[in-house]
Amino acid sequence: MTLHNLDLALRVDEPSKPTDMSSADERSFYEKWEHSNRSCLMVMKYTMDKSIKECVPKTENAKEFLEYVKANFTKTDKSEMTTYLKLLTTTMYDGVSGVRDHIIKLKHYFNKANEMKVELSEKFLKWLVLESLPASFDAVKLTYNALKEEWTLEELMSIVVQHEVSMKKNETHFIALVIDQGSNIKKKHPHKNSRGSKQFKRRGNSS
């Protein structure tokens, strides 16, 4: 059987079974179709996920088998897409698992949804990440919204993780952040009180 005829059973409906009155061409064509039908069924059943394969009604017709799988696989995709979108938009940070793992989890849901051609932007993902964080991260949200520069997701994750670490250390001044001209994130140290201690100067020789 040539490669051209490998998918014959998927392109052509089953022909009538040959009889004593059938011509040699009709017999030959039926043999090719039958061979293609068996081959296609074998390949589909061998490569298909077991959970899907078990749901397909028993049939010896490769075309019918494929049409049933396509119809049900589409439904599965829609259901799966809905699940990932719901997880992406409703998952809130619990404060226990670690904010880095939380963001990675949202990124996973985001990627899964995009694989199903939902076409969500990274900017939307960053907004969802910030919205999923509790009030203790409000300073990060305010800083992000106030800046003209756009943080990448990696920068946002780094800032949020450092903020969480600072909160655990009771450091209240960390989120005083500025962005320089190169869009590099730096810490802004708190200003000293003008009435506070003066800077120490190295004493020079009086002579």
Write out pLDDT tens, residues 3-61: 556 788 888 899 998 898 989 999 999 999 999 999 888 888 888 777 777 788 888 99
pLDDT of residue 189 exceeding 80? no
Mean pLDDT value across residues 199-204? 45
Q: What is the pLDDT of residue 181?
A: 37
Residue 180 has pLDDT above 50, yes or no: no
Rounded Cα gap, residues 33 and 14, in angstroms: 7
Question: Are the C-beta atoms of residues 176 and 186 closer than 8 Å to each other?
Answer: no
- Taking only the tens place, the pLDDT of each residue in 60-96 is 999 999 888 887 776 667 788 889 999 999 999 999 8
Instruction: State how far the Cα of 73 lies from the Cα of 165, in Å rounded to an integer.
Output: 44
Q: How confident is the model at residue 194 (pLDDT cuts 50, 70, 90)?
A: very low
Which of 6, 26, 5, 1 lies closest to 16 in space, CA to CA? 26
Predicted confidence (pLDDT) at residue 135 exceeds the cutoff of 70:
yes
**Coil, helix or strand at residue 191:** coil
Of 74 and 167, the structure prediction assigns the larger pLDDT to 167
Residue 2 lies in a domain: yes
- Report if residue 36 sits inside a domain: yes
Is residue 131 domain-resident?
Answer: no
pTM of the shown model: 0.52
Quick one: average pLDDT of 167-171? 78
pLDDT above 80: residue 126: yes
Task: For residue 1, give its domain range.
Answer: 1-77
In a domain, 151, yes or no: no
State the residue for tokens 């069924």: 41
Computed over every residue of the chain, the mean pLDDT equals 80
Q: Is 70 exceeded by the pLDDT of residue 182?
A: no
Whole-number pLDDT of residue 165: 92
Whether 52 is covered by a domain: the verdict is: yes
Residue 27 lies in a domain: yes
The answer to whether residue 32 is domain-embedded is yes
Q: Which of 47, 66, 59, 23 is nearest to 31 (CA)?
A: 23
pLDDT at 149: 86
Domain assignment present for 61: yes
**Token match 């392109």: residue?**
11
Give the chain's domain count.
1
Q: What is the mean pLDDT of residues 160-189?
A: 62
